[in-house]
Amino acid sequence: MVREFVKLKAQLQTLIKRAGKIMGMSPPSSLQDLFEEIVRALGLKILHDTNHVLHREYERLLSGKRYRVPNHKTNRFKFSVVPSSIRLLKGALSQIQQ
């Protein structure tokens, strides 16, 4: 399953490069950067919206400065939005709180 996603990601990156060349625009630096930007924004949106279903998944550690990354038993959850956004927001959250 993971191999299929890696293959699709590579195909999508190729498609984005081709479309950028045809349109005369520079494509995003990488698909990973685009993914990180979207997940980071979604994580902040969930954090600030207390009525969001996933808001309770963002638990603070005892220090109150960082968020706990939920335990995961499968790769499906390991690479989902909540753990990924918490990992990406670690640096951004510490800057916001200071």
3-state secondary structure of 71: coil
Chain centroid offset of residue 35 CA: 6
Give the whole-angstrom CA distance, residue 62 versus residue 64.
5
Cβ-in-10-Å burial (0-12, 13-18, 19+) of 43 comes to buried
- Tens of pLDDT along the chain (98 residues)? 456 666 777 788 788 788 778 877 776 667 777 778 888 888 889 888 999 988 888 888 888 778 888 887 787 777 778 888 888 887 665 555 54
**pLDDT confidence of residue 21:** 81
**pLDDT confidence of residue 51:** 93
